[in-house]
Structure 1
Amino acid sequence: MSRQATIKDVAREAGVSTFTVSKALRNQPHVAPETRKRVLRAAARLNYSASKSAAALVSGKTKRVALLIGEQITGWFNGNIQEGVYDVLSTHGYDLLIYRAGTSEERAAFFRNLPAKRNADAIIVVSFTLAQKETKALQELDMPIVAIHSGATSFSQGSIRIDDCESEIEAVQHLASLGHTRFCFLDRFNPLPEYSWGANQRIIGYKKAIDRYHLVDCGVLTMDPDREHPARTAADRIASMTPAPTAICAWSDDCALALLSELRQAEIRVPDVVSIMGFDSSDVAALAGLSSVAQPARDIGAEAARKALQLINGSPLTEPHTQVKTHIIDRATTGPAPRDEGR
């Protein structure tokens, strides 16, 4: 097998420096037309293609953007964020690097080693509330930072988020408009209580709405995966409450769908006896007929990538911090409050 040609081989063949070869192949200015033609002919004869690593040596850019994700990479929200980021980066010749901080060890290792400093031109941070030392570490990277769904934005030059608090208020308001007065909130489980992944604005919004509309809060339940059958435990508690809630707001579609399955197995009719509202409006939620607060996660990822590329290119952001609207999608799991509120 013949040896693959290098940029030095092209420079030698064309009789120019490697710096000139790099500029000519990337169609940069200040290269004489005849010199450019000579370089292109030499590259064609040698079947040479420039690597991103070689280009980075000259441009100072890696042509990569890092994405730092808390919790699991494969969840609906994080998966759609990745899709949106990739949609934009791939059309601009950029690669996507993904770093997961789903455990205490992974999070500590990332901020200790800061691999993005060597490997990327910008970093997009998803759903983090940073500790002071973590904020300082990111700022010292001296690269563009874009935040997704972060309550604080001082560490970033750009951000995009929904208003979780207001979105949950609207969910409660919608159920109240259907006549529901007794509510319960089903929360996600925080696998890392020693770290803050972000203030739980959805619970804050839920409680604000309960007070604002003079409703009854029957309690906040948590889906604890360390317990056997966490959704069944939540369903049993809801069924045993006195008075029983007629409307359930869930932190996510995943929580809501798990509860929905258990309630149906317990022969508690949804929505005749109790209505359930999820959050995200994922593909699975749509297939299952789950009512949900819809957020455009893929679009959010795409906008974050566009902001990152603008910052990489030195262009000012016309709207550094963007807030995206959510909307409620009514499906089969929400309906009018039962006339007889007892079971």
Structure 2
Amino acid sequence: MRIRLGDLVDRLGGQLIGDADIEVEGIAPLDAAGASQITFLSNPKFRAQAAATRAAALILSPADDAAIGPSLAGARLVTANPYAYFARSAQLFVALYAEPAIPGIHPSACVHPDAEVDASAIVGPNATIEAKAVVGPGARVDAGSFVGRGATVGEGTHLHANVSFHAGCEIGARGIIHSGAVIGADGFGFAREGGVYIKIPQTGRVVIGDDVEIGANTTIDRGALADTIIGNGVKLDNLIQIGHNCVIGDHTAMAGCVGVAGSAKIGKHCTFGGAAMVLGHLTIVDNVHVSSGSMVSRSILEVGQYTGFYPLAKNADWEKSAVIVRNLGTMREKIRELEKIIKTLTEKK
């Protein structure tokens, strides 16, 4: 279960400096890698540690190779993005050691006669596939997962154990949904009359693109009328809540415990740190980065990094303080002008 460095480079690219016939069996951190493993250097501050590594080969950038390459005992894999190269190498080793998946439907699974399950798909124990649902080629629905009526699971997509994928929802190819995720539950929609709440039927869907990963216990609500849309390549961590009718643009990533209220529209290539919050009906353009714990309370229409922390207070007090904070720049200039006047008067006196 080893791979030649030459074969690794043939698959992943990069420049190999050293013996192409060296065989490696895995990847490990700089300080733990042994003679049968490769490792990587993605941060120049660890150059000294990299120079002392016992790994068979080191993945590193051209700049790091110029700095420490000649002093290394092992081979080098030079690439513009060592961290991405490490990720692809790790995928390769995982695939190398993975148990072969055997297509088929477990006898304890409940698959409706009107469901369409590809012959190359896997349906695990006690899984449920309802009528009109489609499970595509190479897809995998693990133990206890639920695929609702008319839902579609795309080619090569993997629903881990105990995922709820509700009626009419769709996910594209090569997706990963981790255990406990709920896709397509009702959105939080109610009309208020006479002090009571009247439920608004949630008749939209959740439509998810290709290459999306959704973390454990994350929830994405179905749309009220239109659909909730998750674009291609989106990465959602654990314990995230996406409200109904939200649109998340391609290749946006969110860390754990992010909350996005209904009808928010978020652009492509955005990032959200852990526990960031987005209020409903807001628009966030492409390439916006929101820091951990920040509250987005207004639309963001300009690219950049945004951070917002503010202590909890009674609403009236908070609004007064917010007005003062917003005017601090003007107040500072006025204070400077007053200081100049006082200084002038004092000198004259």
Measured against the shorter chain, the TM-score band is under 0.3
Higher relative CO (Cα under 8 Å, sequence separation at least 6) belongs to 1
Higher helix fraction: Structure 1 or Structure 2? 1
The TM-score, its normalising length taken from structure 2, stands at 0.21
TM-score (norm 1): 0.21
